[in-house]
Amino acid sequence: MELSEVFEYHIGDSGAPIINNAPVVMECKVEDNYETDTFDNFIMTIANTYVQEENLDENGKIDYTKFSPVLFEFPKYTYLKTGETIGNCLRLDKE
């Protein structure tokens, strides 16, 4: 397995590289792979989640408004910054 020289890392419990000082890291296990002609679709389960304490809410849950996770959008091959709350799906009729 090739590892990045771009950032510092350590090896997690499952043997996957974990980025040091990342706000959130989810260590995943490959459950299945659906192959297509152009790419593979990996079906994963989350084995472990590592979160910097300052990114937790008062209940110990990840607070995505405290940092802006990056998402990869396919098929546009773009990265998106997240973190802004635009509404509550259970209360849209009341706001």
Q: Tell me: domain 9-94, CATH 2.30.110.10, correct?
A: yes
Give me the average pLDDT of each 10-residue run along the chain (95 residues): 78 86 90 92 92 95 88 86 77 58
pLDDT at 91: 65
Q: Which helix (H) or strand (E) holds 80?
A: strand 78-81
pLDDT score for 53: 95
Name the residue ranges covered by the structural domains of the chain: 9-94
For residues 46 and 25, the answer to whether their CB atoms sit within 8 Å is: no
Each as own residue / partner, the long-range contacts of residues 54-60 (CB below 8 Å, 24 or more positions apart, any chain) are: 55/23, 55/24
Which residue in 5, 13, 93 sits closest to 48, CA to CA? Answer: 13
Backbone angles phi, psi at 55, to 5 degrees: -100, 15
| pLDDT at residue 2 in the model | 63
pLDDT for residue 77:
87
Read off the DSSP letter of residue 56: B
Q: What is the pLDDT of residue 1?
A: 57
